[in-house]
A and B are shown apart, each in its own frame.
Chain A
Amino acid sequence: MATLILDNGAGTAKIGFSTDSEPKIIPNCITKAKNVRTRIFVGDQIDECKDLSSLYYLLPFQKGFIVNWEIEKQVWDHVFSKDVCQVDFNETTVMITEPFFNFPSVGEAINEVIFEEYQFQALHRTQAPTLTCYKHQTDKETSGSLFGTLVVDSGYSFSHIVPFYKNKPVKEAIIRINVGGKVLTNHLKEVISYRQLMVMDETYVINQMKEDVCYVSTQFNKDMSIARCKGPENSISQDYILPDYTHIKRGYVRSRSEAGKLKGDEQMIRMTNERFAIPELLFHPNDVGIQEMGISESIMHSLSLVEKELVPHLLNNIVLTGGNALLPGFQSRVFMDVRSMANDDMDVGVSTPKNPVTYAWHAGCDFSLDPTFPSLCVSRHEYEEYGHSVCTTKFNVS
């Protein structure tokens, strides 16, 4: 029987069979293009759209939780169809991820949709960091079994700090920071629209620009003063040429030698302090008035909530995942901050998997081969017999 792994993120869903070598990364939304009035784009169908300006998004998630099932159903219909995964529901076990402290009624809705709408054979619900921890354990097996792993999962809607004792999350010490990729993109849009060019409708373009030019600073104050300089001394300033979707299909950074006049009617955004001040929100949400600790501070706070004996193990095994871990400098910044705040008799180890976005999905593949996996699944038969209660007892959720 096949096992389908669905890491159902609010930004992108990572989906594929456990036998696939890589998952498909599907935008978990429905998009409407301003200039295409005849159709809507479900998930990755947006790749067929030539003009990506002024896209309108319909998202199933709000603040990281599925609230709009109408949209999610359409996206899932698409990803389970032959266009993406060609799922034979009767012969398939599905593993789905959800956020920590998922609302009970959302969890029940997942059960119902999976068993009643799609008729899957069996279901396992878990969280992406739990899978990450599992894979991290096995990947590091050579150095002896790990007591503690601290997973930092910074995604689209929020960032979670999750300490694990062996493979169990320490629930009391899980910290959620309500800053993720979405907030960063929206803030960047706002800042650019005020300072340079109206881009409030260009979520797609600006998100791409964020991924292209933003980085996490490891020397914030120094970078600020460099960004202030004029001329060649300012090594941070970058000119980003926006796509017009006729001649320029994708935005790009203009090389320094070409600086000067714009060709034709090119549109340009000059990125200076925005390059690092935007991702800085992950570490100082207070900069825009979100009264929460940043990632590094939250790590230390989380460590203060676990057993004292576990702390050195956690400090030495910090794993960074989620889309924001792709920001250059993210790992060094976390290391630098944690190192400076932790006791100096303890070692600090921070690592980022090769692909922090799909790591949890790969972990799901590994976990589906674990001998204990079948016992953690709820079959359709069991669901029909016992309903939601059997799901609550079998899945390690809430």
Chain B
Amino acid sequence: MADKRESVRIKDGQQMRVLDEAARRRRQRKALEALEQDNFSEDPHADLKMSKKAPKFEEVMDASSSLAGLKKKRKSKGDFKLRYRKTFAALLEEVHMQNKDGPSYITACAPPSQLPERHFCSVCGFPSNYTCVVCGSRYCCVKCLGTHQDTRCLKWTA
């Protein structure tokens, strides 16, 4: 009889996974990366060949009249693409490599704020006093905690 009785809290507690510091930081970093994104979805026309292969009437006319000229143009465009292909990371790496003294892109970045951190409810956006014990997000009231647990808490961990 006695072994059937058990505390719900203890049972839940065992199932509940608490995110460690590293996972929380990873989440935070992902959220910040999302703020830099150009688009949320993939290119809707990725499957379409945008006027590249599909011949247009003008293009055909051009080609027949001056095939050589067109070829030359194509080639210079190809070069163009290759010559300037540098990602942001590569550019930053270059600056690091140069390692020159004095002000640079890296030194110009604003330092961390001296002001105390402010906390806002991750659900409603109003000032919050509480922290979700599982994932570290902020919430302001029981109602928002409920919403948070039903929607975001631990859902986006990977």
Q: With A73-B80, A293-B112 in contact, is A34–B94 under 8 Å at CB? A: no
What CA separation (Å) do A100 and B106 show in the bound complex? Answer: 11
Q: With A37-B48, A277-B125 in contact, is A286–B113 under 8 Å at CB? A: yes
Whether B50 and A40, one on each chain, are in contact in the complex, defined by CB atoms closer than 8 angstroms, is yes
B13-21, B39-47, B62-70: which one contacts chain A?
A: B39-47
24 A-B residue contacts at CB 8 Å? A32-B50, A40-B50, A56-B41, A57-B38, A63-B36, A67-B88, A67-B91, A69-B84, A70-B80, A103-B95, A104-B98, A105-B91, A171-B103, A176-B109, A186-B36, A191-B125, A221-B127, A286-B113, A286-B118, A289-B32, A293-B110, A293-B111, A294-B113, A297-B115
B87 close to A (CB within 8 Å) = yes
Across the two chains, which residue of chain A brings its CB closest to B50?
A40
Please encode chain A, from 61 to 103, with 1 for each CB lying within 8 Å of some chain B CB and 0 for all others: 0110101011001000000000000000000000000001101
Whether B45 and A56, one on each chain, are in contact in the complex, defined by CB atoms closer than 8 angstroms, is yes
Q: In the complex, what residues of A have CB within 8 A of residue B48's CB?
A: 37
Whether A274 and B110, one on each chain, are in contact in the complex, defined by CB atoms closer than 8 angstroms, is no
Q: Which of B105-151 contact A (CB under 8 A)?
A: 105, 108-115, 117-118, 120, 123-127, 151
Whether A37 and B45, one on each chain, are in contact in the complex, defined by CB atoms closer than 8 angstroms, is yes
Give the 4 A-B residue pairs with the shortest CB-CB distance, closest first.
A200-B40, A69-B84, A292-B110, A101-B105
**Smallest CB separation, A131 vs chain B (Å):** 19
What CA separation (Å) do A175 and B125 show in the bound complex? Answer: 29
B35 close to A (CB within 8 Å) = yes
Q: Give me the interface of B with A, judged by CB distance under 8 Å.
A: 28, 31-32, 34-41, 43-45, 48, 50-51, 80-81, 83-88, 91-92, 94-95, 98, 102-105, 108-115, 117-118, 120, 123-127, 151-152
**Smallest CB separation, A197 vs chain B (Å):** 14
Whether A287 and B113, one on each chain, are in contact in the complex, defined by CB atoms closer than 8 angstroms, is no
Whether A65 and B35, one on each chain, are in contact in the complex, defined by CB atoms closer than 8 angstroms, is no
**Smallest CB separation, B9 vs chain A (Å):** 29
Across the two chains, which residue of chain A brings its CB closest to B106?
A101
B-side interface mostly: loop
Q: In the complex, what residues of A have CB within 8 A of residue B94's CB?
A: 103-105
A183 close to B (CB within 8 Å) = yes
Q: With A195-B124, A287-B118, A292-B111 in contact, is A174–B81 under 8 Å at CB? A: no
Whether A293 and B103, one on each chain, are in contact in the complex, defined by CB atoms closer than 8 angstroms, is no
User: What bracket does the count of chain A residues touching chain B fall in?
Assistant: 35 or more
**Smallest CB separation, B77 vs chain A (Å):** 9
Whether B35 and A288, one on each chain, are in contact in the complex, defined by CB atoms closer than 8 angstroms, is yes
What CA separation (Å) do A293 and B115 show in the bound complex? Answer: 8
Whether B39 and A56, one on each chain, are in contact in the complex, defined by CB atoms closer than 8 angstroms, is yes
Whether A297 and B108, one on each chain, are in contact in the complex, defined by CB atoms closer than 8 angstroms, is no
Q: Which of A21-65 contact B (CB under 8 A)?
A: 32, 34, 37, 39-40, 54, 56-59, 62-63, 65
Q: In the complex, what residues of B have CB within 8 A of residue A40's CB?
A: 50-51
**Smallest CB separation, A154 vs chain B (Å):** 12
Whether A103 and B105, one on each chain, are in contact in the complex, defined by CB atoms closer than 8 angstroms, is yes
Partner among A117, A224, A290, A291 whose Cβ is within 8 Å of the Cβ of B80:
A117
What CA separation (Å) do A183 and B35 show in the bound complex? Answer: 5
Whether A39 and B51, one on each chain, are in contact in the complex, defined by CB atoms closer than 8 angstroms, is yes
Whether B87 and A297, one on each chain, are in contact in the complex, defined by CB atoms closer than 8 angstroms, is no
Whether B32 and A100, one on each chain, are in contact in the complex, defined by CB atoms closer than 8 angstroms, is no
**Smallest CB separation, A241 vs chain B (Å):** 21
A333 close to B (CB within 8 Å) = no
**Smallest CB separation, A106 vs chain B (Å):** 7
Q: In the complex, what residues of B have CB within 8 A of residue A176's CB?
A: 105, 108-110
